[in-house]
Each structure stands twice: as C-alpha cells, then as structure tokens.
Structure 1
Amino acid sequence: MTYLFPTLLTFGLPLLALPVLIHLINLRRRQRVEWAAMDFLLESQKRNKKWVVLRQLLLLLLRTAAIALVVGMLASPVIRPAWAKIFGAGMKHHVLLLDDSYSMTDQWGETSAFEEAKKAIERLLSQSNAADSEQVVTILRFSEAERLSVGSTPEIYQQKLNAKLLESLQEDFAVSHPNESNAGPVDALEAALRMPETAADETRIAYLVSDFRKQQWQEETQLSQLVQRYRAQVSHLRLIQCVGETRDNLAVTRLEPESGIRATGVETWYVVEVANYGDTPANEVTVTVQADRDKLPAIQLGTIEAGEDASQRFRVTYETAGPHQLTASLEPDAVALDNVRYFAAQVPKTIPLLLIDSSPRGDDGYFLETALSPGEKNLAGWSPQIERASFLRQHDQLDQFAAIFLLDVPKLDQTEVDVLEAYVERGGGLGIFLGEQTRRQFYNESLYRDGEGLLPAPLDIPTQLLRDSDSATADVEVSDHPLFSIFSGQRNSFLKLVRVEFYFALLPEWQPEAAQPLAKLRNGAPLIMEKGFGEGRVVMQLCKLSPKSTDLGVWSNWGLNPMFPIYANELAGYLTAAKRQYHLLTSGDVLEVVVPESDYQGEAEIIAPDSAVKPTVIIGEANEQNLTFKSTKPTTSGVWRFDLQPIENREDVAATPTRVIAVNVPRGEGDLHTLQRGDLAELLDGIDYEFLLASSVAEGNQKLAGYPLRDLLFWGLLATLAIEQLVAVAASYHGRVATRRAIA
C-alpha cells in the first residue's frame, strides 16, 4: 500500500491517543462520596462490571477508529488490486506511440486532438509515478518512426519516471506541436517492433495515442497484423483515442499550372482545387489567391458537396523573369494547415525550342517558327532555333531545349536515335511532323521498333483522303485532350476550314491500346497521336506541316489556318511541360537545387518560410560540372528560398541568383473521419487490447498505480460514527423519558 500524502500520517497518527487521554481525564474528575443507598448500586455494579467495561472499551475503540479513518482518508492510501499482478514484478516500461501527424491539429473550442493527447499522457505518467515499483518511459512520435533504423531508439527511451522527468516533459509539451507530415500507425508500429526486445525483469505496457482516422487505417490487413505482432511483445496494450466526433473540413489540394509554366509576359493557366472532407455541403466556398505580393481576384467555387472536390482555372501573367510564387487559401476551419497551398517556380524570359527541319525548302521550319514566334516582340515566350539533323550529335546541348521537333526528317543514324531517346526519357518533349521526305521503313524499324521506340504507331504508305462532294463533315475531328481544350465550345471554329488531302496511314498490326489518337480524320483514320516515353512524351502528326505543294501535291492547308498558331503554342506548351516542371514537394522532403558550377560559387543561403528562423549557409556538392545544394533540416510548408552567389562578371546570371521551392502538406490528411469503437473492434478482432478516450484516461488508468481507498474510508467513517452513537447511548446511565400517562 502507498499513500499520496504520507506526511499527514506523521501528524495525524498521534491524534489516536486523544480519546484515551480524554477517557483517563474523565476518570480523574470523579469524586468518591459515601452514601448508604450506594451499597445496593455497588453490588449491582459488581455483578455487571465486565459488561460495562466492555461497552466502554468498545466506545473508546470506535472513537479511536474514527480519528484513524479521518487521518487515513486525508493521507489518501492506494492499494494495488489482485488483477494488477499481471504486470508482474520489477521494472514497468511504458511505451507511448504518439500520433503527431497534422490531422491531430483538429481543433474544437479551446482544445485540439493533440492537446488532448498531451493531457492524457501527462495524467497517465503522473499516476504511474505514484506506483510502488520502478517506472521507465519511452515516447515514440509517428513522425519520428520512419527515420528510425533497426536497433535505433527514439529520443525519449527508457528514461526513469520521476518528478524531474515529468517536469521536463511538461515543459516540452508546452511548446510541442504536431508535425506537418501524414505519418501513420504503420510506421510507428514497425518502429516499435524494431526496438530492443523486452528484458527479463521488464513489464512493457504499450499505448497507441491517436485520432484513429479512417484515412490512416485503410490498410486493414497490414495494420491488424502489425498490432497482433506488437501485442505479442507487450504485457498490455491500450488504444487511446483523442477525438470524439468527426468535424467538417475543407482543404486546398491542388495549385499548379495546367501544362507547365510559361515565359515572362505570357498568360499561364493555373488550376486550384478544393476538397470537402466533411459530411455536409460547403456553401459559397471562396479561395483567396495571391501572386507574389499582389492579391488577385477571389475565386468562387460555389457549393462543394460532401466528399467531393471542385476546381477552377485562373490566369496569371508575370512581367519579370526570375522567382515567383502563388498562394491559395481558405477561411479557417477545423484544420488550418491544409487551408493554404503554395506554388513557386523560376519564370524564364523565353523558352528555347529546337526545330530539326529537313524539308526541301525549309518550309516546315518557317511555318512552325512563325507560329511560335511571329515577330520581334515574342508574345508567346518561345525561342525556336532551326537546325539540321546533325545537330542532334551535340547531345551535351540538347538539355537546354524544352522540346525538339522533327520536321519532315527522312532518317537519323543510330547515334542520333539513341541521343533522341535518352533526351525524351529524361523528360523532354518530341514533336514529329511527317512529310514527303519521311522514309517509313526507317521510322518503323528504328523509331517504332515493335512498339519499344519513340514512334506511337507503325507507318504505312501516304494515302489520299477521299472527298465526298455531298458531305458537310469537317476533315479534322479533335478530342477532349488538354491539347485541344482551348478549342472546346468554339462557334464557327476555323477547324472546319482545315482541308487534308494526304496523310500517312497506319499498318494493320497497330493496336489502338498502344497509343490513342488525339485527333482523327473524317474517315476515322488517326491524324495526331501521342505516346509516353520514359518521363517525356511524343506527339506525332501524320500529315505534312507546310501547305506548299510537293511532288505528291498539297498535303493540307493546316499551316495556313488561323487556328494553327494557337495549336502550335498549345503543342509546344504540352511537350515542354515535363522539362519546365516545377518541384512538387511535401513537408519533410529534402530541398535540392542544381545549378551550373561555372555560374555560381560553392555557398548558398537557405531561407525558411518562417521569418523567425535564421538562414542556414550550406556548401554545394560538385558533380559533373554542376553544384547541388541540399537542405539538411526537416522542411515545413511554405516557400523556401535559396540565395545563390553568382561568380563575378557573370551578368547573365547575376539578375537571378535566387531559387524558390514550394513545400505543401500532404493531401488527404485533412479527412477527419474517425474509426468508431465498433469498427476498431472489428478491425482488431481476436486481439486483446483496452480502448479508452483521452478524456477518460484519469479514471481508466488509476489501475496502474492501484485503487484509491479514500472513498472507502469516508464511508467507513460514516458507519463508525453511527455505531459510536448507538454504543454511546447504550453505555449511558440516562433513564427513559416518562410518558405523560405515567406521570398522570
């Protein structure tokens, strides 16, 4: 047995002598008076002396017991029940797996899920500290679990539980917040299983303190197996849930350009998307958008149904080259971290394109270059460069181009094919326009290569599109592919004026599943096709680009159509999207910037989104004529900045020494739907565990330190006082009160 306030015993126990002392004093106050009639009473007293003394001793004992019960009640004794022996003797090791993913920021009133978790842990450890055996503590955070290797231990591991540790944990919890990751129970349980095995004299008691979100517990089989394996390693398992109900929550889940960033002065279409994770519709949803320091018109998404998402396109134009950023945010709700999303990128002055033109008079290159860069003022932002096929041998220069176009190229040698494939595999875009010079045998054997090469489909001979004079059907029919989204909804579209006379048919062995057509001719034959290759993409047009006459005749008037410049710009944007890709990083990812070693010095400064955090100076790693700068600390959401130091006398890079990277919280963690107790029981069927709400931990975990006897002592005191009164009356010498009838 232990006492919560043992000091009171020191002062209270001497009070047990008080009834005895009072009894002795009362005996000394009696005076002996001789009286003849007393002889009869003395004789009676002799006959009943034993019973009188017994009643007096019983009364004295009851009064002494009453004082003892008062003292004991104030000292608060605690006794360990018989069932607690399952924890065994020796050291008690409390292992707490603490969920600190950002869904634990779920807030209601003046508290949150994480605050409830911290309170539960503090109460739990305070009660355990009152136990009469050695207690040690291990705290493993979910976000910490993934980084722990085999045999490694968390920061707080097997630390002795005492007043000093409790005070330290309270100080740490006062400034502790959830991590911005979506770390789940799988990583935590796997890390717990990797801990050193239980010692012979150790009793390990595990607690899983979490919000138990459905989104994190979807992998039911794996989780059930992990919990079962871990339960076999511990003496007792408790699941502590920190939330009691599901709250509605909105989250910005997407903010990015539709098809890569565009150059300076060119409109770029962005998409913002909002998800409704709640159980009720969200009305009048408004997204606030800010470009750099300028606030853009708010985006109205209207009503978003429960469990659905909604998106909206908007346009942004940057007037200067260099680093730029966007921020989209919502009104505050249950989870604040997913109410904002960031985007950041380097906006180039122009985007270089390589045009390999083999047409006899250079017509194809002329028409495409004119469509992409119509005048001295480059409103489209493209910088096309026309070269011959031999330029592909300069493979070290190809990566500077965002896309490459093959215009009526008859054939390439194997070195040029290999270089082109490597370029596309690394994320480059390739546009192929066939024509009179195209040698289909080379294309089929070297570029198609039984579906393993760059070409989307094997070519047959050039074929004439037969024309029906009575038919009003347009020659070209486009799909709903993003490449043609700008044409959707057009009235009196100029596409109806496109005339196609000749095109390359496809061999019968081509399978439509291999590469889907993006546009078709009126006879159903493909005209424009796409194929993914590595990280890049290939778009092939089975018709000559130039409208000039050839030995076969005029292939089409597509190059003269007013819609062709629009299509050419969309095609260039689509092909270069991968090369102009921005970083899509989530909290905790490593930040990395790669720059030419010849342009920048070896030091850079990393500036965090939080202005209160001091900048960090890092040294770049030189590798293959490049410098790589990496962050060494966990990242949080926001726009991070790398301030580089250009080498002196390099005016071309001095204007853009800054690189920006946007970091966002992971999608989906804001879904606050929780597992109900019955769902958890079904998931963990057959596993022995105890389920508690964080708010009830104070009551439910008293078993660890034992059962308090204060209430029992209180009721015992009341019973003792009642019996004392009965005995006191029975031991008194007062006669019975006469009734009125007796007096009369």
Structure 2
Amino acid sequence: MFLYPALTIGFLFVAVPLLVHLINMLRHRRQKWAAMDFLLASYRKQKKWIRLRQILLLLSRLAVAAVLIAMLCGWTGGGQMLGMLGGSTTHHVVILDDSYSMGDSSGGVSAYSRALLSLQDLTRRLASDDGIHELTVMRSSRAAMTIRGGSDSGDSAADLSAQTVTSDARLINRVMATEASPVQTDLVAAIDLAGELIRNAPADQKVLYIASDFRQRDWAAPQRLAESMRGISGDDVSIRMIDCALSPMSNLAVTDISPIRDVWVAGVPVVVNATIRNYGPTNVSNVSLETRVYHYSDEVVQSDPTLAVTGSVESLPAMVIESLDSGAEITKKFQVFVAEQGTHAIEVSLPEDALSIDNARSCTLPLSDAEKVLVIDGNADTLGAYHVASVLDPGSQVRIGAIPEIQPPSFLRAATLETLTSYRAIYLIDLPEISENAADALDRYVRRGGGLAWFLGKDVVKDSYNQHLLAGDRRLLPMPLEEAKPMPPPAGVSSADVVFGDAPQLLAPLRAGGDAALSLIGLSQSWTLQQPSFAEPDDPEQPRINVVLKRRDGGPLVTQHDVDRGRIITVLTGLDGSWTNWPGDPTFVVFLLQANADLWSGAAPPTRRYIDETIERHIALSAYALEATYLPAVKEPPRVPIEVVAKVVEENDGSTNPGSSGSVAEFILDPSEMVIAGEANVSDILRPGIAEWALTRSDGQGELVPVAAVIRTGEGDLRRADSATIQQDLLPVEVRFLSSEAWSTQNQTAGSSTLALLLLGLLGTLLASEQALAYWASYHTPLESAKAPGKKRSFLDHQGPFSIRASR
C-alpha cells in the first residue's frame, strides 16, 4: 500500500546502519598493554549496560532509515484493511464523458487522458482510505447506445459496476486502455443510468463524479441535464464535476463530403462537395485540403487485412483554402472521374490540429453502367416523349447515362412491379387516365426508391388521377388536381409567366440569373391543385411539397415531393406545345437533366453511414453466399475481420432493395445490441473511415464493397461553458467544480497527508532519540571532576565505550 511502489526497494537502505556497525566491530585489534586489565575489568562490570545502549542506538538508526524510506514511498498505511473489518461503505460512481470532443489535445494531452488520470488518482486514494469503497465507472457513449438499444440497465452500460476497491491496480486496467469514442452524445443517458445504479446500491455514502470537458453546446441550456441530476441529488448524493479540458486551440473540421445528386455512371465525371468549418477562435489561411480516391475495380476481389484500405489509391491535386473566418464554413468542389463500374471511395483530409478525429471524412461513389428510363406519351404524335428522349440521350459524344425507352400507354396498363423495377426512372406525359393496376404498381415502385415524373397536359382526366393516385395511402400526386386554369394577363408592369419557387436546389444552375432566366417561357394554361383533402394540414402522413417553379399568379407549376424512398416531380403542363413553349426553351434542357439526376438519387445506395447506426447490407439471395466478412475501418493496420451470417428476408419485407425481386439476404451489425451484449469488438465498428464488405458470389468469386463510416458533426465546437453559470443553472442541485489538475493534487495528498504528518513527527522523535542514545552510549568526562580535582577515580569507574576504544 504505497503510492510509489517502485521506491520500496529503498528499504534495503535500512541495513546500512547495521552493516556500518558490523564493519566497525571488525576494526578491533588486540594489543598487549598493562593497563588493559583495569579496562577489561570495567568492561565486564558494565557489559550489559553497554550492549543495551548499543542495541538501542542501532535500533533507533534502523527505525530512522525505515521511516524515511516509508515517507519517500508514500506509505498509505493499512486503513483499508481496518475498514474492511467494520467500516462504512461508500459507493463512488464515475461518469467518463468519452464523446469525441474529449479527444481535444489542446495543451498537449487529450481531455480524455486527463479524465482517465483523474479516475486513476481517485482509485489510488480509495485504496488507502478507511472504510469499504465500491467503484462504478460508466462511459457516456456506452450509456447512450444502451438506451438506444432499448435497455435501461445501468449494469449493461457500466465498465465497472459496484466493484470493491482494493490495492490491486488491475481493477481499472480495462478502462485505462480505452480512448475517446467517435460517438456524439451528451451526458443525459449516463446520468439517468447512473441514478438507477445509485438508487439500487446499498451504501452508507454515495458520491457521483462527472469527468467532462463542459462545452457550450451541451451546457448552454442544460435543462435536460439538470432534470436528470435533480433525480440523483434527491438521494443525498455528493456531486463533483471534474473539468478535464483547457482553453481550446485551432480546430478545422470536414463536416461533409458527398457527390452531388446526379446520374452516377462509370465514365461520366461526378462533382463532389467537401464542406469545411472553422471551429477555432481565430481566422485561418492557406490551409491545404488533401483528396484521395480509392478504386475498387473488378480485379479487387479479396480484402487485405494488412492494409488500411484494399482499393488502389489515387491522389488528386490538393486544394487550398485561402482564408476562413472563425465560425465560418466553406464548400470546395472537385471533380472525380472513374472509368470502372462498382462502388468506389473518396476521402478528404486536413492537417492535424487540436481535434484530429474530424480532420478527415469519406464517402462512397456507386457507379453503374448506363440504365434504362421508361418514357410513355399519351399523345399519338409522341412529341413530348421526343423532347424528353432527346435531352436524356443526345447522342454523338455526349454521355448522360440514361437510355430512354419509349413505350405506348398500353404498356403501363399491364405493368407490374417486376416490369417497372428494370427502369431507373419513369416519365409519364399527358396520359388521359391511370388504371388501378397501374397506380398500384407505380406506388410500390416509388416507395422502393424509384423516380417518377408527371407531365400533365390538356388530355388529363382529373377524376381518374385523383381517384387512383390518391386512394388510400397513395401519394402519387402532391395534391388533388382542381382545374385547368388560364394564365391571367400581367397586372401593371410586365413580368414573366414563370418564376422560381421555394426549392432552388433543383434548378441551382439557373438560379444565379434570377427570374430573368425564365423570361422567355410562355405559359397560357396549366393545372391547379386543391388543398389536400386526404389529410389535415398538420398530419405527418402528408408529404412535404417543394414548389420548384410557380406561375406568375403564385400558383405552383412544378412540384417535388418524396414518398418513402422514392421521389416524384409533377409538371402541371404538357409538352405538346398547346399550353407552353417551354420544351423549345434552353432552360428545359437544364431542368430535365437536373430532374433526371434528382429522380435517380432516390434509388441510389447511400454514400455514407453514421458510425453509431446499424450496419446493413442487402443482397440477392440467388447471387451471393449467406456468409460475409466485414472489415472495420482502422487508424493503422492490421484489421480484424468480423464474420457475419445473413438472415433471409421474404420479398414483401419492406427492407428489400429497390429493384430486387425474390428473397434477399440481409447482413446486420447493430452497435447498440453489441454494447448491451458486451461484445469487445464494438469499438472497431464505431471507428470512422473506410470499411469494407467482403462478399462471395454464387459462382465462388469474391466481391469487395467499401463503406464510408462518418461521425456526426457538431462536437468540433470546442468553446467552453462557464462553471459558475453551470452551477447557477443546476440549482438547487449543489455541485463542486474542480479542474483535473486540482483533482489530481487533492487525491495524491488526501489519503496520505495525515499519515505523512505522523511519520514526520515520528521521524523527528526518532532523530532526537538517536542523538540522545548516541550521547548516552559514548564516553564523556564528567563535569564534577573538573570542579573537584582532589577527588580521585579508579579505572574501574570508567564505563562504557571508552574501555572498548582503549582496547583498539
């Protein structure tokens, strides 16, 4: 029970006085001398007293050496053993904030490392304190994921649960080996679960410690935190806040990277947006942004665990952020060209700063070959179909990625879901009526991620559309059709017939020119929409309608809305030229290309997953084996593969992929369930970066698919909250704030200060005793002899060591 066990080797110093004494005795030598007989007689007379004095002197010197070494080693005494025999029990609950902002290394050491040192100091002190001490340690990320997984058990979330503290330092070894988690979370879940453990633990005293970095984003409005802490403080719990962070330094973060919505086809350049935010307190300039593309060609079929990423890397030219103000963000655009089909990965990174975890971010880029789109025109001349097909497939050297297939209206009447899933998008132009069978097939197609565009001209029968497209829970129209309404003449100043709506992202290339870019579009008539009769205005089932273009009188002309995973664009005018000249205007080309990219995006696989989300992979049961391997992202190789067995899902299960038919295999890894089950490799799948699925096809060939795992943004804001303000907001809960440095100092001295004073007093007493014994054991001429010269003394009266020294 020493604070510094390594120094206990110094107890060997205790033997030094004994060795000196033994060596001193070896220096005696015999010498013939007549007067020696008198001295030997005196020695025999006083021998017992002489030995007693020498033993006492030697023991005092040994004791001085032992006490001195004990003080240097930080002896903590045997208080715990005494407490185990009948002392009180104290339950200590430590909440470690391990959200990724705790990786802030401002000052040279991360805030999470300071939190672990605070836990270590506490454990050492408890090992020497009187009484029985039970320790519970809980990390905030595990608590949040436990609750997210449906469990309210504090024991499932805790790394240690009511473990008795002993002198064995291995108690917290597993916790000391952890790092700040990539999970973004607050402390509410951990405090709630800690409260449950505190209430259920039978202890005489209870103490809650919260080791965190106390950022403004969490504590600026701590109502929910205060509510959780009030539930604990009612149990007479002492609460101590350990502030582990320092004043933040510069921090830049990549908050997003994603390919823009487009037709992602191999051999067609794709524009990628990377957003960078300056969370630091100062402006920055001339910051380099590195970009890499990881190619997964058909030749890459086996994963290599010895590499961080199996795909071949291509470094793109670095981009430079010339200047970025504090708190501002900037989006840099760059182009990626990949000739191979398949899913590839893109990564951007910033130079190292105070918080390294948000300096890099990745996404995937799924590229397919050119895919078919279905175009059906209700007019016999198919003029509208010609306009759409000529834009999507202009021929010559221009490659859009869409292959238009023009079919008659009878094709739709007999269509089924299996028929439609072979098309990436569907364009329906001025169809007079929609049958119940067609409406059902279109609804299922859209819900599974398909894209649908309506062009409603003069031949549309509104009752048929309203009856079938909005029946039950179908939402294939934004609102019921009302009437075909002529465009009123301009009032006063002349203005364009068509203006921009409230969804600028779809026509972003034209938006910069303002409404003047649409000034040449003529519109004489269009359909209008009723207020939705199928839902109340605040009904969550009602789709959110985005108005892309409006008529001059404010009515919608082009709308956009989502239905489950699919997207629908509705144009309330036809393309035969009777109501509008838009197909002949250059803006129609821009609109149709943007609309086609928007419709394709619904069926596109996701380009990233958040690290705390469930990892899912759906594959066709007939094309792949049921066993697969998941290789998590790593900082440094090697990677540890995770074997996963698929679950068979029937065709009508809502989780099947768009375009699939028959049964599918579903691979699932749920981090929350893994935390509750106590699986050790959960920390691997929570790591951001580029992970990989290693699949096996039915023909025995391997297939490697990258997955981009990213952190949630927000924790890069390292601004600190004021401790006094937090204490005020938490009232009537009383908390005590300490910095991690003050906490360490307090714990290092608290358990040994009283004992150190006792040892110091004992040392002083022993030193004084040693000097007195040394004086007593040595020969000194009595003072009386100098005052009474007439008095004679015999040699036999001489005592002690004089007789011994005389014999030398």
TM-score (norm 1): 0.79
Deviations 1:147-193 (A, max 9, x none): 443443434333343343x14635762x4322211133112112223
Deviation of 1:196 after TM superposition, in Å, equals 7.2
- Which residue of structure 2 aligns with residue 488 of structure 1? 511
What amino acid is the match of 1:642?
W
Q: Quick one: which of 675, 688, 698 aligns to 1:647?
A: 698
What amino acid is the match of 1:318?
V
Q: How does 1:294-313 map to 2 (within 5 A)?
A: 294-313=314-333
Q: How does 1:615-694 map to 2 (within 5 A)?
A: 615-624=641-650, 625-631=663-669, 633-634=681-682, 635=685, 636-648=687-699, 657-694=703-740
- Which residue of structure 1 aligns with residue 751 of structure 2? 705
Whether the 8 Å contact between 1:357 and 1:389 is mirrored in structure 2 is no
Whether the 8 Å contact between 1:203 and 1:235 is mirrored in structure 2 is yes
Distance 2:492 2:137 in 1: 81
Q: Quick one: which of 113, 116, 119 aligns to 1:118?
A: 116
Moved more, 419-428 or 268-277: 419-428
Deviations 1:480-502 (A, max 9, x none): 61121112345998754433344
184 and 493 in structure 1: CA distance in 2 versus 1, 3 angstrom threshold: closer
Distance 1:489 1:196 in 2: 60
- Which residue of structure 1 aligns with residue 523 of structure 2? 500
Q: How does 1:88-487 map to 2 (within 5 A)?
A: 89-148=87-146, 149-151=151-153, 152-153=155-156, 154-164=158-168, 166-167=169-170, 169-170=172-173, 173=176, 175-195=177-197, 197-200=199-202, 203-217=205-219, 220-233=222-235, 235-259=237-261, 262-292=264-294, 293-375=313-395, 379-387=399-407, 388=409, 390-391=411-412, 393-447=415-469, 453-465=475-487, 473-479=495-501, 481-487=504-510
Distance 1:469 1:183 in 2: 55
Distance 1:219 1:325 in 2: 39
What amino acid is the match of 1:101?
S
Q: Quick one: which of 524, 543, 546 aligns to 2:576?
A: 546
319 and 699 in structure 1: CA distance in 2 versus 1, 3 angstrom threshold: same
Q: Secondary structure at the match of 2:184?
A: coil
Distance 2:549 2:527 in 1: 14
What amino acid is the match of 1:131?
D
Q: Secondary structure at the match of 1:194?
A: helix
Deviation of 1:329 after TM superposition, in Å, equals 1.1
What amino acid is the match of 1:326?
I
Whether the 8 Å contact between 1:494 and 1:562 is mirrored in structure 2 is no
Distance 1:260 1:203 in 2: 62
Whether the 8 Å contact between 1:263 and 1:349 is mirrored in structure 2 is yes
- Which residue of structure 2 aligns with residue 22 of structure 1? none
Deviation of 1:322 after TM superposition, in Å, equals 0.5
Distance 1:535 1:205 in 2: 49
Q: Secondary structure at the match of 2:576?
A: coil
Deviations 1:537-584 (A, max 9, x none): 33221221133xxxxxx3333223344333211111122222224143
Distance 1:10 1:223 in 2: 55
Moved more, 578-587 or 704-713: 704-713
Distance 1:508 1:618 in 2: 50
Deviation of 1:664 after TM superposition, in Å, equals 0.6
Deviations 1:123-157 (A, max 9, x none): 22112212243333322222222344344343433
| Count of residues paired in the alignment | 678
Whether the 8 Å contact between 1:342 and 1:663 is mirrored in structure 2 is yes
Distance 2:238 2:545 in 1: 57
Q: Secondary structure at the match of 1:248?
A: coil
460 and 589 in structure 1: CA distance in 2 versus 1, 3 angstrom threshold: closer
Deviations 1:264-300 (A, max 9, x none): 2223232211122222223334422222222223334
Distance 1:644 1:559 in 2: 46
Asked if residue 603 in structure 1 is aligned to residue 636 in structure 2, the reply is no
Matched-pair identity in %: 24
Q: Secondary structure at the match of 2:197?
A: coil
- Which residue of structure 2 aligns with residue 580 of structure 1? 604
What amino acid is the match of 1:169?
I
Deviation of 1:340 after TM superposition, in Å, equals 0.6
Whether the 8 Å contact between 1:345 and 1:582 is mirrored in structure 2 is no
Deviation of 1:675 after TM superposition, in Å, equals 2.4
Distance 1:355 1:693 in 2: 68
What amino acid is the match of 1:621?
K
Deviation of 1:683 after TM superposition, in Å, equals 2.6
Whether the 8 Å contact between 1:4 and 1:78 is mirrored in structure 2 is no
Distance 1:580 1:417 in 2: 23
Deviations 1:13-43 (A, max 9, x none): x99xx9xxxxxxxxx99x99xxxxxxxxxxx
Deviations 1:661-697 (A, max 9, x none): 2101121122212222212211322223332211122
- Which residue of structure 1 aligns with residue 300 of structure 2? none
Distance 2:102 2:482 in 1: 61
Q: Quick one: which of 680, 695, 700 aligns to 2:741?
A: 695
Deviation of 1:600 after TM superposition, in Å, equals 1.6
Deviation of 1:698 after TM superposition, in Å, equals 3.0
Q: Secondary structure at the match of 1:380?
A: coil
Deviation of 1:122 after TM superposition, in Å, equals 1.6
Moved more, 436-445 or 419-428: 419-428
Deviations 1:400-441 (A, max 9, x none): 433322211112123332333343344433211011320123
647 and 101 in structure 1: CA distance in 2 versus 1, 3 angstrom threshold: same
Whether the 8 Å contact between 1:102 and 1:178 is mirrored in structure 2 is yes
- Which residue of structure 1 aligns with residue 656 of structure 2? none
TM-score (norm 2): 0.73
Q: Which runs of 5+ in 2 are unaligned?
A: 22-37, 43-55, 295-312, 539-543, 651-662, 671-680, 776-781, 785-808
492 and 131 in structure 1: CA distance in 2 versus 1, 3 angstrom threshold: closer
Distance 1:203 1:89 in 2: 12
Deviation of 1:117 after TM superposition, in Å, equals 1.5
Distance 1:107 1:124 in 2: 22
Deviation of 1:646 after TM superposition, in Å, equals 1.8
Distance 1:602 1:720 in 2: 78
Q: Secondary structure at the match of 1:263?
A: coil
Whether the 8 Å contact between 2:560 and 2:570 is mirrored in structure 1 is yes
Whether the 8 Å contact between 1:411 and 1:443 is mirrored in structure 2 is yes
Distance 2:3 2:523 in 1: 97
Q: Secondary structure at the match of 1:441?
A: helix
